[in-house]
Amino acid sequence: MGMNLTQKIIFSHLVEGDMTPGKEIAIRIDQTLTQDATGTMAYLEFEAIGIPRVKTELSVSYVDHNTLQTGFENADDHRFLQTAAAKFGVHFSRAGNGICHQVHLERFGVPGKTLLGSDSHTPTGGGLGMLAIGAGGLDVAMAMAGHPFYLNMPKVVNVRLHGKLAPWASAKDVILEVLRRLSVKGGVGKVIEYSGDGVKSLSVPERATITNMGAELGATTSVFPSDEITKRFLDAQSRGHVFTPIAADPDAEYDEVIDINLNELEPLIALPHSPDNVKKVSEVDGLKVDQVFIGSCTNSSYVDLMKLAKILKGKTIAPNVSLVVAPGSKQVLYMLSRNGALADIVAAGARLLECACGPCLGVGQAPATGAVSLRTSNRNFEGRSGTKNAKVYLVSVETAAASALTGVITDPRYLGEQIVVEMPEKFEIDDRMIIPPPADGGDVEILRGPNIKPLPKAEPLPDKLMGRVLLKVGDNITTDHIMPAGAKILPLRSNVPEISKHCFETIDPTFPERARSAGGGFIVGGANYGQGSSREHAALAPLYLGIKAVIAKSFARIHRQNLINFGILPLTFEDEKDYDEINKSMGEGDELAIENVRENLLSDSLEVKNITTGKTFKVRHNLSDRQKEILLAGGLLNYAKK
């Protein structure tokens, strides 16, 4: 029996374990990336490990999230990151050079390599044939220090693409269709691997759009084969020498198969407030639009914005619409400015933003009260835009552009003959905004601003956990719920004591003070707890506030590992059928106790006693032996030092 593409890359990087789905394995990491919202903590963690220089083939530190400088905090973080990169042997991509995933695809990605990034959309690299995985900053720091990355061997889902996209349908519609079928938790524990004759019709940027939003499935990653389309892209980036063909064997087997006929797809749209709330654009056609944002790591490539320019050329956006555009990289912006496309975009009434993430995570351009905002980004969680009651819809560039012109949600097929944009034979190459590290960083001084605080320390797991239920929440709680982003809160990412004051702010603003007053306690959640961003602050802030364990129906992969990394027990109800009854009988404020934790951690389950009601129930931890040792030590840093 042959291997699929996922198995091939994992097998070639396997350090520990066997490739049985669900079993823990460890893989060697070739490349890492960090961004400024998660990077400061990642490099503080790397420094704490005590390794003088990174041991990966390549590590890159990007500045693309916290670029709005309303105070000294973000600028101080950028200075810290630049000096840390020089000291530790990391390439530094300056503010203005572009979004990490777009730039990495253009300038650094290598087919067949592994990439670990402290951003949940790192799977964008799968469009280039990489095994690219998002993780918490501490996992990335460990990888930079030469440690393997541990994960459960994923199942592999084969999405077979047939035919060619119909006029005005796009790669965004492909991934929205996958989300419609599988849901935001349908990819947990899985890699989504694309194949079929339809793959040949998709460019690398289109493939990257699909793998990027695979993160919204909860998938470990998504991956396309590396083929002649990949080579053409790398040649155009003057990087053809890194090309390696890689594909599944003809007799490869998969755990699940999904077929999608591209020629049958029509423009799709994700309605508020979840990326899997998908309908046809034609079903919501005519809804008044207040704002349109075109950009983010999902749809800000050269081809994306050339399509926008061609659609807008000679026209003017509707009077009721604010259109903002953020190119994905300096390369994209430079090429648009040279060929006149940028002039067409600006002339139509668009507002040009810098090459950064911006509105995608609530940094600038928050919509008006109750506004409808169409966005080409990847997430539309409630409040993520910066306006809690805004209604964010996720669409393709084509749908966004058509709607900006008409002022209402508009099926782009209304525009008539399809706009076609070919990939350039050569991209403009200028890497002056990427600073390579010196050969020896021993004399480099790392500069720290006053907002950069030391890491919170986790203590070894006690033998008894006691505390009150401080918060009860439902299904699909996101890391935006736990630790919000946005222009006001993001500058505090280097300061855990300060940022913890905003923990669960959108759900219960009293939570931080109650947690502090109670001396910590428990959180009880539903299914898919912690979906969304890789931000480890969603674990660091609860740790600082004294959270001892989170009990939920199920966890999103990255957040569960972040909880483990910082010494917080992630527990699931032993029997989901009993969840409703247990949950109903347990109220906020109930006091819980778990006895003999250290001893019972070695078994599969623990018993929780609700002291307030007198009832007991069983919970599971599903921890590997290594994860048990990490928790017993009080987190991954303590474990690594041991």
Q: Which of 13, 59, 61, 64 is catalytic?
A: 64
Report d(CA 91, CA 432) in Å as an integer.
12
Put the strands of the sheet holding 372-375 in their side by side order. 278-280, 268-270, 391-394, 372-375, 291-294, 322-325, 351-352
Write out the H or E segment, with its range, that includes residue 161.
strand 155-162
Active site residue 64: yes
Would the CA dihedral through 628, 632, 633, 634 be positive or negative?
Answer: positive
Task: Verify whether residue 249 is a known catalytic residue.
Answer: no
Strands 114-117, 131-134: pairing is parallel
CB 90 within 8 A of CB 53: no
Q: Distance between CA 522 and CA 551 in Å, rounded?
A: 7
Q: What is the DSSP string of 212-281?
A: HHGGGGTBSEEE--B-HHHHHHHHHTT-GGG---B---TT---SEEEEEEGGG---EEEPTT-TT-EEEH
Q: Which of 224, 134, 216, 129 is nearest to 181 (CA)?
A: 216
At residue 578, what are phi and psi to the nearest 5 degrees? -90, -5
**Residue 379 annotated as catalytic:** yes
The structure tokens listed for 312 are: 């807008």
Look at strands 591-594 and 465-472 and give their pairing: antiparallel
CB of 274 within 8 A of CB of 476? Answer: yes
Selecting among 13, 207, 375, 379, the annotated active-site residue is 379
Residue tagged active-site, from 78, 535, 537, 557: 535
Could you say which DSSP state residue 196 is in?
A: S
Residues 6 or more apart whose Cβ sits within 8 Å of residue 378: 121, 212, 213, 215, 216, 275, 296, 297, 298, 360, 394
Q: Which of the residues 183, 494, 533, 554 is marked catalytic? A: 533
Does the annotation mark 12 as catalytic? no
Q: Cβ atoms within 10 A of the Cβ of 22, count?
A: 10
User: Phi and psi dihedrals of 593, rounded to 5?
Assistant: -140, 140
Crossing angle (nearest 10°) for helices 302-312 and 397-406: 20
Q: Which of 119, 276, 411, 590 is catalytic?
A: 119
Beta-bridged to residue 61, according to DSSP, are: 34, 92
Of the candidates 13, 65, 375, 413, the residue annotated as catalytic is: 65
Residues annotated as catalytic are 64-65, 119, 379, 533, 535
